[in-house]
Amino acid sequence: MSKIKIALVQMHVEKDKYKNLETANTFIKKVAQEGCDLAILPEMFTTPYKTDNFPIYAEFEGEDSFISISNMAKENSIYLVGGSIPEKDEKNLVYNTSYVFDRNGNNIGKHRKVHLFDIDVEGGQSFKESDTLTPGNNITVFDTEFGKIGLCICFDFRFPELARLMVQKGAKTIIVPAAFNMTTGPAHWDLMFRSRAIDNQVYAIGCAPSRDINGPYVSYGNSIVTTPWGDILYKMDEKEGYKILELDLEYVDKIRKELPLISARRLDLYELKEK
């Protein structure tokens, strides 16, 4: 299967977790009816993006949000990258976790954000995920009938090594539930997606919450798809909405053949390894 219809769901996130799950459900039904194969929700779509909220909204794997995302996939017979949600473990450590479900609602992927978003930009955005979150330790690639897809969360995508390791594991597409802000978004969002796409000759897909200027963290929005050639195939604005796009995965092979980068690496001189 070389063509995949993906949907970006740039939803509004509010305080009520169950209202957020309902909003996601409404969008997922709609994009499935319009023929989408795989839908993507934003980073931390069950809670306003605020460190204090994460432990309060956190759930064990298999609890309400997990079940609800799995049901959305199953009832609509689509692959679903469930943005991310705060997940807690038996030691009460909290992670920023993305779950992926197949068309039968089976959990086929899980990524815990590996690089925590700790920044302090003078005159701009400050944030410290490590106040309440613990980083994950895995590089994540999941399998579909459309081939292998890499998955990471927002700040993770700033680290070129991680994207390259996903590609070394076979990814031709990389999906990134994300939430840039009004300091880093205008400066780096497009550039980061285009850079990772060119470096790795992949489709790079970012899905963000819509912008809420009254929220504790103002999301940049602008959910995006960049091509293996580095073009922006599509970019949303800041408002709530969705977009379905067809991606041709043979285009990845074409670009990799015409402009060989992955195959032309000097592995006798340097090497990147997963530990």
Ligand X SMILES: NC(=O)CC(=O)C(=O)O
Q: Would you tell me which residues interact with ligand X (CB under 6 A)? A: 117, 154-155, 158, 179-181, 184
Please report how close the Cβ of residue 94 comes to ligand X at its closest, in angstroms.
Answer: 15
Nearest to 274 by CA among 138, 157, 159, 112: 138
* 154 given a catalytic annotation: yes
Cα 140 to chain centroid distance, Å, stands at: 11
- At closest approach, how far in Å is the CB of 272 from ligand X? 21
Q: How many CB atoms lie within 10 A of CB 201?
A: 24
| Alpha carbons 266 and 271: distance in angstroms, whole number | 8
Residues contacting 11, CB < 8 A, separation 6+: 20, 23, 24, 27, 41, 42, 45, 209, 210, 240
Rounded least distance, CB 27 to ligand X, Å: 21
Q: How far is the CB of 13 from ligand X (least distance, A)?
A: 13
Active-site choice (17, 88, 110, 113): 113
C-beta of 121 vs 259, nearer to ligand X: 121
In the annotation, is 207 catalytic?
no
- In eight-state DSSP terms, residue 241 is E
Q: How far is the CB of 184 from ligand X (least distance, A)?
A: 3
Q: What is the DSSP string of 50-68?
A: -TTHHHHH-B-TTSHHHHH
Inter-axis angle of helices 64-76 and 17-33, to 10 degrees?
10
> CB of residue 263 vs ligand X: minimum separation in angstroms?
30
Determine if residue 233 is left, alpha or beta; phi over 0 gives left, psi from -120 to 50 gives alpha, anything else beta: alpha
Q: Between residues 168 and 181, which has the closer beta carbon with respect to ligand X?
A: 181
Residue of 154, 207, 238, 240 marked catalytic = 154
Q: For this structure, is 113 an active site residue?
A: yes
Query: Please, which residue, 70 or 223, has the CB nearer to ligand X?
Result: 223
**Residue number with CB closer to ligand X (128 or 169):** 128
Looking at the Cβ atoms of 114 and 141, the one nearer to ligand X is 114
Contacts of 31 (CB under 8 A, 6+ apart): 7, 9, 39, 78, 242, 244
Closest CB to ligand X among residues 87, 102: 87
CB 192 within 8 A of CB 226: no
Distance of alpha carbon 144 from alpha carbon 36, whole angstroms? 14
Positions marked active-site? 43, 113, 154
